[in-house]
């Protein structure tokens, strides 16, 4: 599915890298613990998280992810968004909680893939 | 015979926000040099974990990366408190990080095990009260 479809499924707003909304992504993971993302995630393109700091963007960048979804109405700072824009990572924000957000994407065909069941 | 590319970074221990900048720079450099994505990712993650460790445990340090014809060699050196029991620190899930670090999304006890997982060879030298030096090699096949 495209990142734009994720945005629509989650009633999310796009906060950075809007120009990449039509990129295709095939898998996702959800975690508030970046240590676990770095340990268990492999080839997931989307990270759903309720953690908001600049290391979320750095972690996503290290893992070659394309999109970060901040759940539970978390608001990233302009500094975080600037970092994401520089790194070419789309940032979405949704008011949905982690469980519901993951569930909606999973049931719409976005898979966990590999060993990445972090949450 | 190509000369090795050497990169040096001072890792600022006071600034959690900037932690990872050296790893981002290494990743960009390796990408420009045309390395395969899997090699770049392994180097980036191993170094990023090490950089985060230096910031949260050791008040910063120095990172040196040498790109040679047969391997990428990473040396991370700090003058932090040292590691009391290296075998214990290498176990997944063991962490001495405080709750404030966990609230930042780190300190799950995966840093050192991850560095070992993503590198082909790793050595940890540490002296209590003096500091820690971690050496990692990622071989280029």
The pLDDT of residue B11 is 96
pLDDT digits (tens, 9 = 90+) for A46-100: 999 999 999 999 999 999 999 999 999 999 999 999 999 999 999 999 999 999 9
> What backbone torsions phi and psi does residue B27 show, to the nearest 5 degrees?
-60, -45
Domain residue ranges in chain A: 3-107
Confidence of residue A42 (pLDDT cuts 50, 70, 90): confident
β-strands A90-93, A13-16 pairing: antiparallel
Q: What does the alpha-carbon distance between residue A94 and residue B50 come to, in Å, rounded to a whole number? A: 32
Is B41's CB within 8 Å of A63's CB? yes
Count up the domains in chain B and report the number: 1
Compute φ and ψ for A54, nearest 5 degrees: -65, -25
Instruction: State the residue for tokens 């979320």.
Output: A56
Q: What is the pLDDT of residue A44?
A: 85
What is the CATH classification number for the domain harbouring B50? 3.30.565.10
pLDDT of residue A117: 42
Nearest to A58 by CA among B112, B132, B16: B16
The span from the first CA to the last CA of chain A, in angstroms, equals 21
To the nearest whole angstrom, how far is the Cα of A52 from the nearest Cα of chain B? 8
B27 with A58: Cβ contact below 8 A: no
Q: Give the C-alpha separation, A14 to B76, whole Å.
A: 37
The domain A3-107 belongs to what CATH superfamily?
A: HprK N-terminal domain-like (3.40.1390.20)
> Whole-angstrom Cα distance, residue B54 to residue A21?
36
CB contact under 8 A, A55 and B20: yes
By the CB < 8 Å criterion, does B23 face chain A? Answer: yes
Q: Which of B68, B62, B140, B54 is nearest to B101 (CA)?
A: B54
Distance of alpha carbon B2 from its chain centroid, rounded? 25
Residue B80: closest CA among B51, B105, B119: B51
How far apart are alpha carbons B74 and B85 in whole angstroms? 22
Q: How far apart are CA A96 and CA A104, in angstroms?
A: 10
Residue B78's DSSP bridge partners are B132
Residue A118: pLDDT band by 50, 70, 90 thresholds? very low
Contacts of B25 (CB under 8 A, 6+ apart): B7, B9
- Summarised one tens digit per residue, pLDDT across range B15-74 is 899 999 999 999 999 999 999 999 999 999 999 999 999 999 999 999 999 999 999 999
The CA distance from A28 to A48, in Å, is 8
Assess contact for B128 and B82: CB atoms under 8 A: yes
Tell me the chain B residues in contact with residue A64 when contact means C-beta distances shorter than 8 Å: 37, 41
């Amino acid at each position: 599915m495209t990142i734009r479809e994720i945005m629509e499924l989650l009633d999310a707003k796009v906060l950075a890298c809007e120009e990449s909304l039509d990129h295709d992504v095939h898998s996702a993971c959800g975690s508030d613990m970046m240590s676990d993302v770095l340990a268990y995630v492999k080839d997931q393109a989307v990270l759903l998280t309720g953690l908001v700091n600049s290391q979320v963007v750095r972690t996503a960048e290290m893992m070659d992810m394309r999109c970060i979804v901040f759940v539970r109405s978390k608001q990233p700072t302009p500094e975080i968004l600037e970092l994401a824009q520089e790194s070419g990572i789309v940032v979405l924000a949704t008011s949905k909680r982690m469980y519901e957000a993951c569930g909606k994407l999973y049931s719409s065909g976005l898979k966990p893939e590999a060993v990445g069941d972090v949450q | 015979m190509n000369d090795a590319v050497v990169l040096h970074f001072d890792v600022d221990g006071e600034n959690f926000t900037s932690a990872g900048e050296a790893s981002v720079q290494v990743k960009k450099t390796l990408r420009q040099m045309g390395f395969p994505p899997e090699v770049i990712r392994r180097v980036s993650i191993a170094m990023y974990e090490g950089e985060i460790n230096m910031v949260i445990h050791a008040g910063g340090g120095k990172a040196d990366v040498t790109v040679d014809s047969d391997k990428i060699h990473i040396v991370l050196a700090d003058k932090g408190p040292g590691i009391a029991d290296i075998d214990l620190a290498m176990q997944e899930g063991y962490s001495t990080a405080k709750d404030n670090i966990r609230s930042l999304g780190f300190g799950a006890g995966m840093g050192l095990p991850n560095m070992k997982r993503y590198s082909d060879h790793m050595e940890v030298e540490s002296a209590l009260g003096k500091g820690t030096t971690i050496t990692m090699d990622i071989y280029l096949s």
